[in-house]
Structure 1
Amino acid sequence: MKTFATINDLIALWRPLKHDENQRASKLLEVVSDTLRVEAKRVGKNLDTMVENSQPYANVVTSVTVDIVARTLMTSTDHEPMTQMTESALGYSFSGSYLVPGGGLFIKDSELKRLGLTKKQRIGVIDIYGESERDTSHTN
């Protein structure tokens, strides 16, 4: 199946890739595209059809795909990536925030929302006693 973004999209919307990132980026584009398809199917939508029917929507899907792949490429594969780090010397203090706690591919709720793939909450009632019969003999 076709990916929702290409290496050229990744370069144009994010940054030029390092030599060792090209192969990983190609595979990630496939995985992210298929993951988005699965997320769309969960809410009863066909992402490929939606992309074919609207160029503006196709651009948004490309942008979201690039964002997810870029974030994943920034995630280190040999040590925990830090987005913020503080060190001290004599007090032996260290603190930091991790880019992706636990690592791996993840899609933010805000990205699914941009694609219109969020699950809507429904309110329902289950009648556990079944339908009751009403006595309507005293009404007109």
Structure 2
Amino acid sequence: MEPFASLNDIEELWREMSTEEGKRAEKLLSIVSDCLRAEADKVGKDLDKMITEKPYFESVVKSVTVDVVARTLMTSTNSEPMSQMSQSALGYSVSGTYLVPGGGLFIKKSELARLGLRRQRMGVIELYDDKRNNGNPG
């Protein structure tokens, strides 16, 4: 199956890439697209069919694909990049938050929500026992 985005889309929506990044991105496009299809399948949806039924949805799927690929490309292959870091001087303390803890590809819950793939659960709590008053108020 075709990826939801192209190398050109990544460069237009994110930034120009080096030759090495371009090679990685080309492979990632297929992987990310298939991962998104698998996530959709988990909730009984077909992204390709959704795009056919609502053509505007194609740009949403493309945007999410580019976001996931770009985030994966920003993850260093030889060391973990930090998205937040703090240092102290005399106490010798350094702390930071990694961009992708453990590395690898991941799709955020907010991205799944943008695609309409988050399962929504709804529950009902009975505050009053209807049997007590046979459903009559007061």
What residue number does 2:72 align with? 72
- d(CA) in 2 for partners of 1:26, 1:121: 36
Q: Which amino acid in the other structure matches residue 6 of structure 1?
A: S
Secondary structure of 1:84's aligned partner? strand
Larger Rg: 1
How do 1:1-140 and structure 2 match up within 5 A?
Answer: 1-121=1-121
Instruction: Return 5+ residue gaps in structure 1 as ranges.
Output: 124-140
How many residues are aligned here?
124
TM-score normalised by the chain length of structure 1 = 0.83
TM-score, with length taken from structure 2: 0.84
Moved over 3 A (4+): none
Q: Deviations over 1:63-118 (max 9, x none)?
A: 00000000000011101110112223333121111001111111011100000011
* Structure 2 residues not aligned, in runs of 5+: 124-138
1-side partners of 2:5 and 2:54: how far apart?
A: 15
